[in-house]
Chain A
Amino acid sequence: AQSVSQHNHHVILSEAASLELGCNYSYGGTVNLFWYVQYPGQHLQLLLKYFSGDPLVKGIKGFEAEFIKSKFSFNLRKPSVQWSDTAEYFCALDDSGGYNKLIFGAGTRLAVHP
């Protein structure tokens, strides 16, 4: 069965620090990978997605992620975080079976201090 692991449950950073959130998945076939963000009091929003092609994907708000197939990883990065990046981040996969079924990781709560 497919699964997604996010090893960092809570991350605390100061503004301007660099961010890397880990995401590993378990699935032997073709996958589509996503990072969603949930800001306090708001609904889930898509940050970026990977389907194929260039393994380095750029998303909104300066976020990027790198798909490393050999490591089954899809880590999220941002070179310099802002207070407004405080949110919960979810990594998810779709097994591309055509069922719009996302498998989510447990999420990482990021707190950015000014």
Chain B
Amino acid sequence: KAGVTQTPRYLIKTRGQQVTLSCSPISGHRSVSWYQQTPGQGLQFLFEYFSETQRNKGNFPGRFSGRQFSNSRSEMNVSTLELGDSALYLCASSFSISSTDTQYFGPGTRLTVL
């Protein structure tokens, strides 16, 4: 079974630009969560989607947004990029919204903002 895939794997942008990252969950998984990983702040929850609905959002500014499609694939968008947005963005999928389901992580997209 294929794992969680994320595209692109690496991205370089400049301040003020916007970026869209994509996540394809494991086949059959309907919940997708996004996390930001930085050396200073560690792993922080961004948001979670289930059945095309955002059910929870972390403490990030409105520049961070996302969506989920009917096939469970998810995208996240960051507008007006800042230097501090440089990070590894991780996507995780799970079968359902049950907290007993394991979240499986993708390899991440490394975003560098210049």
Contact = CB atoms under 8 A, between A and B. Distances in A.
A96 B93 CA distance: 16
Interface residues of B, number: 29
Nearest to B31: A100
Interface class of chain B by DSSP: strand
A100 B42 contact: no
Contacts of A106: 42
Interface magnitude class on chain A: 20 to 34
A94 B45 contact: no
Contact of B56 (A51, A96, A99, A105): A99
B42 A101 contact: no
Nearest to B107: A43
Contact of B97 (A42, A46, A95, A100): A100
Contacts of A107: 42-43
B106 interface: yes
Given A103-B45, A104-B42, A105-B42, A97 B106 contact: no
Interface class of chain A by DSSP: loop
20 contacts: A44-B90, A44-B92, A44-B105, A46-B104, A96-B99, A98-B98, A98-B99, A99-B48, A99-B56, A100-B50, A100-B92, A100-B94, A100-B103, A101-B56, A101-B58, A102-B35, A102-B43, A102-B45, A102-B92, A104-B42
Interface of B: 3-4, 31, 33, 35, 42-45, 48, 50, 55-56, 58, 90, 92, 94, 97-108
